[in-house]
Amino acid sequence: MTTGLGAALEPITRVRGVRGAMIVSATEGILVAEAVMEGVDAQAVAALAAGLAARLRRATDAAGRGAPVFIHLEAEAGAILAVPGERDLLVVAVTQADVNVGLVRLELRRAADRLA
Amino acid sequence: MRVIEPWVAEPLQRFLTESSARLALLMTASGQVVAQHGFTRALDVMSASALGAAIVASTEELARQMGAGPFRALSHQGQTQGLFLSAFAVPRARWIVLVVYDSDSSLGLVQLFFDQLVRELQAAAPDGEAPREVLAADFETELNASLRSLFGR
Model ipTM value: 0.81
A28 with B105: Cβ contact below 8 A: no
Query: Which distant-in-sequence residues (6+ apart) come within 8 Å of A64 by Cβ?
Result: none
Our CA angle for B36, B39, B44, nearest 5°, is: 105
CA distance A59 to A67: 9
- On the question of pLDDT at B26 being above 90, the answer is yes
B2-132 in CATH: which number?
3.30.450.30
Yes or no: say if B109 and A51 are a contact pair by the CB < 8 Å rule: yes
Domain residue extents for chain B: 2-132
Residue of B nearest to A48 (CA): B109
CA distance A84 to chain B (A): 16
Residue of B nearest to A56 (CA): B104
Q: What is the pLDDT of residues B123-137, one digit of tens each?
A: 998 876 555 555 555
CA distance A58 to chain B (A): 11
CA distance A6 to A11: 10
Which one-letter amino acid corresponds to residue B140? E
Q: Which among A30, A31, A32 is the top mutation candidate for probing chain B, defined by the most B β-carbons within 10 Å of its own β-carbon?
A: A30
Domain residue extents for chain A: 5-114
Mean pLDDT of B3-19: 92
B108 with A54: Cβ contact below 8 A: no
A5-114 in CATH: which number?
3.30.450.30
CA distance B80 to A101: 35
Q: What is the pLDDT of residues A41-88, one digit of tens each?
A: 999 999 999 999 999 999 999 999 999 999 999 999 999 999 999 889
Q: Does B111 touch chain A (CB under 8 A)?
A: yes
Provide the pLDDT confidence category of residue B152 given band limits of 50, 70 and 90. low
